[in-house]
Chains A and B, each alone.
Chain A
């Protein structure tokens, strides 16, 4: 993996493409696919550079999609481009989400809104639970016995020991660095 800091020659900063990806697509996969189409399929960025940014973003902490925006922005305009892409990626959807949140608070007492939101929360729980399966399955397939042992150990630690969740994650990270090393 290598991130080049040189902007692609002859390419303007793709501000419109970043705004479009961050405002029209729900979820990282859809936004990443849209950006790939707009940047790679149009010949403005090599496919390898896009894949590299996607891969690096996946293995660094934080929100993967925002990390990818940052790395792609850096490709086009260095640090200023990275910060601009990050600002667009974070603020545009945040404005939409806060507007929806404000509308929810405004109408939370209306019976129909309350019942619709109860249904939406059930749907969100399904999405949340499915996210657990989607995230865990490839890790268990890759690490098998050690991965299962780590999952069971984490479960035991969570249920038995009164320690904060972030400590659980830090301990797991240390164990993973020692016993789950992944060669590329």
Chain B
């Protein structure tokens, strides 16, 4: 896939999200559903790999870019991830001067809508991530561990990776 096209697809997804994973539904729609250059398994794997890497949650887009178009794709995706941050200084100044409450309202609404899109995407991704009862159980246990507030995401992902070979047999 052309790295320039990938850059603009990734930019649209990251610029419309207010948290790392909020871009997942848009990226899945573009790359898995419409262009078929990525599978749900690869998308899930990219999310898992980003969870084991330092840096922001949205870093999974760099791994997705690498899966889709190699190193040029990873660079294009890293640039797309960074581009909205370049705009943050003028945006922040404009927000402070004008209509702060409307911008915050729009931000809150986009977060709520993103969560709905993420929830529907998680149902779709579950077919790949939890194909057996044992793996579905692993998802539930991981979710409850995170909800307890005592287990960080890295431990959930690494612990699940360690249990994977045991549960797959």
Contact = CB atoms under 8 A, between A and B. Distances in A.
B49 to A, nearest CB: 5
Given A60-B84, A63-B14, A1 B113 contact: no
A178 B14 CA distance: 23
A119 B26 CA distance: 25
Contacts of B57: 27-28, 63, 131
A135 B108 CA distance: 10
Interface in A4-61: 22-28, 30-31, 56-61
A112 B169 CA distance: 11
Contact of A119 (B14, B108, B138): B138
B32 interface: no
B143 A126 contact: yes
A183 B104 CA distance: 8
A139 B52 CA distance: 28
B78 A91 contact: yes
Interface string B137-169: 011111101110000111011111111110111
Given A98-B62, A126-B156, A128-B122, A23 B54 contact: yes
Nearest to B44: A121
B116 A151 contact: yes
Nearest to B13: A166
Given A24-B54, A66-B85, A98 B120 contact: no
Contact of A125 (B15, B18, B126, B158): B126
A112 B100 CA distance: 52
B109 A25 contact: no
A129 B53 contact: no
A98 B71 contact: yes
B38 interface: no
B135 interface: yes
B134 to A, nearest CB: 9
Contact of A86 (B86, B115, B126): B86
A24 B54 CA distance: 6
Nearest to A90: B82
Nearest to A74: B89
B159 A123 contact: yes
Nearest to B65: A98
* Residue among A89, A98, A115, A118 facing the most chain B CB atoms (10 A cut-off): A118
Nearest to B137: A122
19 contacts: A25-B54, A26-B51, A26-B55, A60-B92, A64-B56, A66-B56, A67-B85, A82-B89, A90-B85, A96-B55, A97-B62, A101-B74, A105-B67, A121-B47, A125-B126, A126-B145, A129-B143, A165-B25, A169-B117
Interface of A: 1-3, 22-28, 30-31, 56-67, 69-71, 74, 79, 82-83, 86-87, 89-94, 96-98, 100-102, 104-105, 112, 115-133, 135-136, 139-140, 142-143, 147, 150-151, 154-155, 158-159, 164-166, 168-170, 172-184
